[in-house]
Amino acid sequence: MTRPLRKISFRLLLYASVIGLTAVGLSACGQSGAKTKSSAANGPASNAPLVIDLGAGNAEPSSLDPDVDYDNGDYGILSQIYDQLVSASGTTSVSIHPSLATTWSSSKDGLTWTFHLRPNVHFHDGSLVNAKAVKFTYDRCLKMKQGGWADFAEVKSVDAPDPLTVVFHLKYRFSSFLNSLSSVNNGNIVSPTTLLKHQVNGDLGAKWLYNHDAGSGPYELTSWTHGQRIELHKFPGYWRGWKGNHASKVVFQFTAASATQRLGLENGSVDAAIGLSPQDFSALAKSSSVVVQNHQSLFVQYLALNCKKEGPLKNRLVRQALAYSVNAPHVAKFVWGGFATVAKSYAPTGIPGYVESPIQYKFDLAKAKKLLAQAGYAKGFSVDGVIIAGDQMGSLVYQLWQSDLSKLNIKLNIKPLPYPQFAKLQQKASTSPDIISNAWGLDYASDFAIYYQFLYSKATSVQGNWAYYGNPKVDAILIKARAAGQANSPAVLNLYRQAQKISYGDAPYIPMVQEPARIAIRSNVHGYQYNLGETPYDFNVYNMWKS
């Protein structure tokens, strides 16, 4: 600006601003209150692609290679492209169903599992899904050692004695083995024909599979526009067939804010969405063109306290004091808008092996003060609370907690860190953050995927034991439970009860709430069924269609 503003230009600027702001304001009000186009409730099926918005959180896969990625959102896409031996499903509690395997049995000692495969199933490339392909899949997973491969650390070898029989040999008895085959990370059966054809330097097709597909599922990959969308189209040779109403094309978007999703749902550019804020969700509940569903998910929001690092948190009494200072009902009400439920266990409700902890911490600042004084920290201390950058819920949890902590003379410094930086620091106990606020998504719906991941002293670093907790008594109980029979048997439930009694006393983690999954679907979209067994991002697209 080299010329000073003249009187007239300033007035012009002023008027322009006022008009501009008014226009923006009116259009915003207009959008939310406008009558949306009425949609045919049950007309004939439409061929337009189904548009599903997964939100900007963690939903875009880092890779389409099922043996590489490790984010919970990835399964929402992979489940459309691949099949697994078994599937886990249910709305409020999870059970295992046949998928590529029709029947199975295990030896008496639990070390050998035999699966019989469904005949006449084909991959997208035309080759048959047989025992060799299953063997190739698991060998690849264990060889590449990436993503969630540790879920199968107990597998010694896989055999394919005949084309429709697969045999797993385990190193030790593992009660959750069957559940682990439905993992959101691995166990997606890949086509050896395709992968070996595109192999480079013996990488088993890893470079190629990053953005291609080698599956047998209902949909094939059309395109992937990074940061925006993934498009899939139907695979005509899918083994379940296409009789009846099914979506023929689907577009997954990873756009953005809740407000954008809400506007998209209201004007019809988005057919289904997950990731709405509690407020937008409540507002959409009143809309006639959108149906909203709120379900429990397997995500538990918790605080991990670094038990090994030198500092006040190393002291058990201090951790207990912190546990008493968290107001979980407030977190459920003000951070999740009332849609979450207070957690009574490390585990989410609905999984086999769920049991409430015999010890519960109720919000009690007086008790917290007493414990701190006992530990010698009556004067308080300063501590860093880390969240992954972009985690707004985690940030709110800390802000809510900050004011209660200040009454105990504890200063909480909230530090958002980008994920790569966080992962690096988290590798060692001495550099790992003092407190981490996060929501843990289970790899598969069973006891082992939570208790073991959190409490086992050797499951440290990215695997899950972010508190660097280790108690030999708890380790012993977990190993016993791992080898036991059914997760829901009274004996096993009792073991987990004991494990929680001891570990809650040590307070390495403070579980706060079990997160809800808020799904919104336009009323002309049919067939959606929520699945607790995998992740909330997993839409049963094959059974969905729109009129």
Partner 1 sequence: MHLSAARDFRARHRRALKLASRPTSLVAIAGVVLLLVAAVFGTLIAPYGSSKLDLAHALQGPSMRHFLGADELGRDVFSRLIAGARYSVVSAASVLTIALVVGTLVGALAGYFGHAVDEILMRITDVFLAFPSLVLALAISVTLGGGLQSAILAIGAVWWPSYARLVRGQVLGTKSNDYVEAARALGVRNTRLLVVHILRNCMTPVLVQLTLDIGNVLVTFAGLSYLGLGAAPGSPEWGATISDGQIYILTAWWIALFPGLALYLAALVLNLAGELVGDILMPGRSTRLGSDAGRRRRFGLRRGAPAKPSPPREALDF
Task: By CB under 8 A, tell whether 7 contacts partner 1.
Answer: yes
Smaller CB distance to partner 1: residue 350 or 394? 394
Smaller CB distance to partner 1: residue 31 or 46? 31
| φ/ψ bin of 145: left (φ > 0), alpha (ψ from -120 to 50), beta (otherwise) | left
Kindly state the smallest distance separating residue 395's Cβ from partner 1, in Å: 4
Which of 128, 257, 317, 429 is close enough to bind partner 1 by CB under 8 A?
Answer: 257
Q: Quick one: which segment of 67-75, 166-174, 278-286, 341-349 binds partner 1 (CB under 8 A)?
A: 278-286
- Are 201 and 149 in contact by the 8 Å Cβ rule? The answer is no
Residue type, 157: S
Smaller CB distance to partner 1: residue 84 or 277? 277
**Alpha carbons within 13 A on the beta-carbon side of 169:** 7
CA atoms of 184 and 72, how far apart (whole Å) = 7
Smaller CB distance to partner 1: residue 154 or 404? 404
Kindly state the smallest distance separating residue 28's Cβ from partner 1, in Å: 7
Smaller CB distance to partner 1: residue 105 or 403? 403
DSSP class per residue in 206-272? HHHHTTS----SSEEEEEEETTTEEEEEE-TT-TT---S---SEEEEE----HHHHHHHHHHTS-SE
Kindly state the smallest distance separating residue 430's Cβ from partner 1, in Å: 17
Kindly state the smallest distance separating residue 283's Cβ from partner 1, in Å: 6
Q: Quick one: which segment of 28-36, 214-222, 225-233, 314-322 binds partner 1 (CB under 8 A)?
A: 28-36
Smaller CB distance to partner 1: residue 244 or 420? 420
- 142 class by beta-carbon count within 10 Å (0-12 exposed, 13-18 middle, 19+ buried): middle
Which of 128, 283, 285, 429 is close enough to bind partner 1 by CB under 8 A?
Answer: 283
Smaller CB distance to partner 1: residue 211 or 402? 402
Task: By CB under 8 A, tell whether 32 contacts partner 1.
Answer: yes
CB proximity list for 9: less than 8 A, separation 6 or greater: none
Q: Quick one: which segment of 161-169, 198-206, 254-262, 454-462 binds partner 1 (CB under 8 A)?
A: 254-262
Q: Quick one: which segment of 25-33, 166-174, 301-309, 530-538 binds partner 1 (CB under 8 A)?
A: 25-33
Which residues in 157-216 contact partner 1 (CB under 8 A)? none
Contact map string, positions 307 to 346, toward partner 1, x by CB under 8 A: -----------------------x--xx------------
CA atoms of 320 and 43, how far apart (whole Å) = 58
Task: By CB under 8 A, tell whether 15 contacts partner 1.
Answer: no
The token pair at 146 is: 């990436």
CB proximity list for 248: less than 8 A, separation 6 or greater: 47, 49, 233, 234
Kindly state the smallest distance separating residue 361's Cβ from partner 1, in Å: 20
- Degrees, nearest 5: CA angle 247-70-151: 105
Smaller CB distance to partner 1: residue 239 or 419? 419
| Nearest alpha carbon to residue 140 among 178, 179, 192, 101 | 192
Kindly state the smallest distance separating residue 345's Cβ from partner 1, in Å: 26
CA atoms of 458 and 58, how far apart (whole Å) = 27
Kindly state the smallest distance separating residue 286's Cβ from partner 1, in Å: 12
Kindly state the smallest distance separating residue 438's Cβ from partner 1, in Å: 15
- 7 class by beta-carbon count within 10 Å (0-12 exposed, 13-18 middle, 19+ buried): exposed
Which residues in 491-530 contact partner 1 (CB under 8 A)? none
Contact map string, positions 58 to 97, toward partner 1, x by CB under 8 A: ----------------------------------------
Smaller CB distance to partner 1: residue 122 or 415? 415
Query: What sign has the CA pseudo-torsion 41, 290, 390, 398?
Result: negative
354 phi and psi, to 5 degrees?
-70, 130
Task: Reduce the DSSP state of residue 446 to 3 states and report it.
Answer: coil
Task: Reduce the DSSP state of residue 293 to 3 states and report it.
Answer: strand
Smaller CB distance to partner 1: residue 412 or 510? 412
**Bridge partner list, 188:** none
428 phi and psi, to 5 degrees?
-120, 145
The token pair at 499 is: 């494990």
Which of 153, 390, 479, 529 is close enough to bind partner 1 by CB under 8 A?
Answer: 390
Q: How far is CA 187 from the centre of its chain?
A: 17
Which residues in 430-489 contact partner 1 (CB under 8 A)? none
CA atoms of 474 and 472, how far apart (whole Å) = 5
> Site for partner 1 (CB under 8 A): how many residues?
40
Which residues in 394-423 contact partner 1 (CB under 8 A)? 395-396, 398-400, 402-403, 413-418, 421
* CB neighbours of residue 44 within 10 Å: 9
Task: By CB under 8 A, tell whether 279 contacts partner 1.
Answer: yes
Which of 60, 65, 151, 280 is close enough to bind partner 1 by CB under 8 A?
Answer: 280
Which of 180, 216, 258, 453 is close enough to bind partner 1 by CB under 8 A?
Answer: 258
Q: Which residues bind partner 1 (CB under 8 A)?
A: 1-5, 7, 10, 28, 31-32, 257-259, 262-263, 277, 279-280, 283, 330, 333-334, 387, 389-390, 392, 395-396, 398-400, 402-403, 413-418, 421
